[in-house]
Structure 1
Amino acid sequence: MAFDGLFTHAMAKELNDTLAGGRIMKIHQPYANEVFLVVRNNRKNYPVLLSAHPMFARAQISQIKYKNPQTAPNFAMMLRKHLEGAQLLRVEQVENDRILRFVVSGRNEVGDEDRTVLILEMMGRHSNLFLVDEASQKIIDLIKHVPADQNRVRTLMPGAKYVQPPKQDVTNPYDSLQGLANDILDNPDQNDLAKAIQQRFQGFSRDSANELAAVVQQPGDAMDHAQNWLEYFNQTEPELVDTEKGLAYVPFPWLTVTGEVTTFTTLSELLDAYYEGKSERDRVQQQASVVLRVIHNELKKNRTKIKKQQAELAAADHADEYKIKGELLTTYMHDVERGMTEVELPNYYDDNKPLKIQLSNQLSPSQNAQRYFTKYNKLKASVKYLNEQIALAQAEVDYFENLQAQVDLASPKDIEEIKQELIQEGYLRVQKKKQKPQISQPEKFYASDGTLIEVGKNNLQNERLSMKTARRSDIWMHTKDIPGSHVIIHDDDPSEQTLTEGATLAAYFSKARDSANVPVDYLPVRRLRKPNGAKPGFVIFEGQTTMTVTPTYAAVQKLRQKPSEG
């Protein structure tokens, strides 16, 4: 389902139950449209994500790691001034809309109570996060400043009075379901009923309206079904469902969403699992703009080079034609006169069939013959050189296609290491501010029997993992002839199930993530070799065994959890 008003209702309850009464200890703004509040409550810290992203706007407790910028943005500094150390009194929803209010009580410079409200509006590209003085309703600051010429409905700048978005003529379903019975009678078709529900009631996305339409058409009293269904948003059983159309999340089991199910304890854990790929990809794209530009340019340059050199190589295939023409001119030189532009001579290599040969009228017959021999020798000499250059350019293409796949699989914290690799290899200039890059670690997974499995997410991680930290008896895995991660099973004799689970990780963290029957090579680490001068992460090997697996999201998520002992 979408993060609509109904899901906001459920999330507001979860956040309020978990956070109300806690204190805001830290505030970070790692991304342009997203803020993290670290709220301490009941002796536990909760990282609360408030996102005004145009595509992924949401509020949740998020355990996904993030990296803070060296200099905090102005909005984060303003939030720290007013909110750090303050008490979060409550989290509430505005009617059944996609608006959440975080009411906070703190102290100003002179010790008086300073009550402010963080207001998160989750409205697609119009999403925004406001810090508002509760008494005056004046906007202290907001994460997106919107000039008056871009929004004539209300002023979205610091100092203006906060005004809620224009309200639609719809009913909050938690206040009244009046009219639903008439809608059911007037719209027996489920699609028509879903449209009527959306038009009449507040906070319904198309998915939610379709689900309620299906629920009320079940045997029994339709109004009771609707009331019970709404109540489920207060007692959630979160599910992530792998459907035919992709991953979908629901706050409790739905009739209209079917597939392979993964259950979660909280809505926040559910959203972490769902958005881990989607929002991470967006954050990676933002942070990897320089890296992606280098990859794009190098791929384009080397592919163009290969195309041009292959054309030259194809031309060299006709080198013998120049040799034949030179020999014919030498043999029949008495039939060639200076000043001729072409001559037709019998080709004794082809049953004396006449062959027309172009000549330069500025050269003697002997010089014309020599010109053809020179072309022949030049083309023949170029074949070896062209094959070497094509091989070098193809190696560059393979390298950057592998980097491109790593960016697709990377988390934001991995991008800096990929950038450092490009600097080391001379593709990027060294930054003026020399900072010691943080060494990121491979991701850890656990097989069903508890065996540790590590996955490298970029070339530098792959090289450290495979060539330095892994034991020689550990098992190394990688997708066969497909860009992907190095996977190490920390066991010299893993079970068949552990091998399958390791291969599943290798397939999932590769360019073939969405494919079936992905081939994966495996062998002991001691059989790996790194050629002298090879780029980071490049290894050669022999004596491997190959198995095929089909990676799934659910299988990988299961491997993230260490099996309980006893």
Structure 2
Amino acid sequence: MSLNCNEINTILSELDLPGSFIQEIVQPGFDTLAFRIVNKGSVSTIIICTAPQACRINETRTRIPKNEKPLRFNEFLKSHIQGMRINSCRQIALDRIIKMDVSTWKERFFIYIRLWSGAANVIVTDEAGIIQDCMFRRPKKGEVTGGTFEIQEREATAEEKKEALQKFPVRTFDEITAEYSGKNTATHSAAGSAKKEQPLTFNRKVDIFYSEHAHILSRETLLAQAQKWYNVKHSKMEAALQRLLEKQNNFSDAAKLKHTGDLILSFGQDAKGGMLDCTDYDTGLEVHIKIDPSKSVQENAAVYYEQYKKAVSGQDALAHDIDMAKKTIAALDAQYNAMLNEKNVIKIEQMLRKDTKPKQKTEKPHAGLHYEIDGWTIIVGRTAAENDELLRHTVKGQDMWLHARDYAGGYVFIRARRDKTVPLDILLYAGNLAVYHSKARRNGQADLYYTQVKYLRRAKNGPKGLVLPTQEKNLLVKIDEQRLRKLDELEKSAQSI
């Protein structure tokens, strides 16, 4: 549960903030703020949490991790509030709204911290009550930049305070006190010290309770969420790996296909009807090979040789995909173990929030579309900006570049692989994407340039992303709906993992 009005007053009385300075402000999450406070030479960290059922303000000893990407409200506070002096900090009546008066020699602001579960907020206004920014912007309530924050400021009467104290008593947290005393006694006994133990402050009890015992943002709750997240992702990745291993097993007889072709070339002239009966010169066993009587010996052998080439090619691609799948699972295991070993609940929440973020909000490692097929990576830039971004920061000289000739369109890149030549099949997949993401799409086909990235040079004074190719080759590609459909399915499959 959140702090009640009397607990807030107890917290503020222990903090004694007037006269201190805000040295640093960190926002580790959307609903949490931390102020690093300097007062008479001592440094402390004040945490403000607006999470439902856990609204609070208290001093904390927990290390507050910075967010990977600075949040909007944090940037505002750093530029306007950080470094200011706290003139006063008090609760307005018994309304669970804290008013913090901060200023420098030339500016003054009021920070209103509303600790209402389900409607909590941190609002910064100027002296006239005009909102400068808020932790949560709520237009329907007028809590947006430029709005007016109106509140009736008054002091609670003695009668109101007495009634509130009976209705909302200050929690004693006896279980925390007992646990702490037990640990201290054991420590003193082991050390042989007779030093008198210091009683826990109310701030310290609150900090321990909300980090270890509270329902929201407790370590146990977060680790339960982490376990659920891990189990779902791990099961999907394991299922994908098993499918790849089964497919690899199907390709394990590739050598037999080549050997069958060799047998047809050796004994094909003895075939009768649609069957060739011969003795395998490797094993000495009698074998029976079904052939097409309408084809020549060489054509029948070529069928098996072609199947052998596809199987070998498939084995190489599968080996790459299996290796990538195993590395992904290992990375997931390491990530989950890091959460299990992390003691800082704010850090756990931050790690979990990052990995449960919706796919559309996840920052991509590079611009454009990304496809993985048969061990090859294809990247598509759909706009001039994406094309330019990929050329500047993503692709390298050995990568292949494709673009529709005489038509405006996106750039398509095939990532180079060591000691591998881009197969025609992969070139056709990339070519289909190049035609699809160009003005030639309505024609259903187009001539394409293709060359390595190192043979591209930027057009002087040309538009963003415009390049001039050299040593280019030409490829005529007709759109193959089946290829595009397979690429789309692969992308969706990758996103679901």
User: Normalising by the residue count of structure 1, what TM-score does the alignment of the two structures yield?
Assistant: 0.40
User: Normalising by the residue count of structure 2, what TM-score does the alignment of the two structures yield?
Assistant: 0.45
